[in-house]
Amino acid sequence: MFLDLLRRRNPALLDAAVELHQRGELPANTFAIDLDAVRANAMALAAEAARLGLTPLAMTKQMGRNPDFCRAVVDGGITASVAVDMDDARATVRAGMELGHLGHLVQVPRAETAAGAAMRPHNWTVFDDTKAAEAARAAADLGRDQALLARIQGPGDEFYPGHEGGFAAADVVQVADRLDALDGAHFGGLTTFPALLFDAERRGVRTTRNLATLEAAAKRLADAGRSGVAINAPGTTSTAALATLAAAGATQVEPGHALTGTTPWHAVEDLVELPAVCYVSEVSHLHDGRAYCFGGGMYVDPVISAYPVQALVGRAPGATALVPATLPPPSAIDYYGQLHLADAPPVSPGDTVVFGFRAQAFVTRAHTAGIIGVGSGRPRVAGVYAVDGRTAQWPA
Please determine, for residue 394, whether its predicted confidence score (pLDDT) is greater than 90. no
DSSP secondary structure, 131-169, as one string: HHHHHHHHHHHTT--EEEEEEEE-TT----TT----EEG
Going along the chain from its start, the domains and CATH numbers come out as 2-33+272-385 (2.40.37.30), 79-254 (3.20.20.10)
The span from the CA of 314 to the CA of 343, in Å, is 15
Let me know: does 48 contact 77? Beta carbons within 8 Å.
Answer: no
pTM for the model stands at 0.96
- The residue-averaged pLDDT of 308-333 equals 94
Asked whether the bond before 194 is cis by omega within 30 degrees of 0, the reply is yes
pLDDT in tens, 322-348: 999 999 998 899 999 999 999 889 999
Please determine, for residue 302, whether its predicted confidence score (pLDDT) is greater than 90. no
Let me know: does 98 contact 122? Beta carbons within 8 Å.
Answer: yes
Lowest-pLDDT choice from 129-133, 171-175, 330-334, 370-374: 330-334
pLDDT in tens, 69-91: 999 999 999 999 999 999 999 99
Please determine, for residue 202, whether its predicted confidence score (pLDDT) is greater than 70. yes
- Which pLDDT score, from 0 to 100, does residue 197 have? 94
According to DSSP, the β-strands at 321-326 and 309-314 are antiparallel
- Which pLDDT score, from 0 to 100, does residue 396 have? 62
Let me know: does 33 contact 277? Beta carbons within 8 Å.
Answer: yes
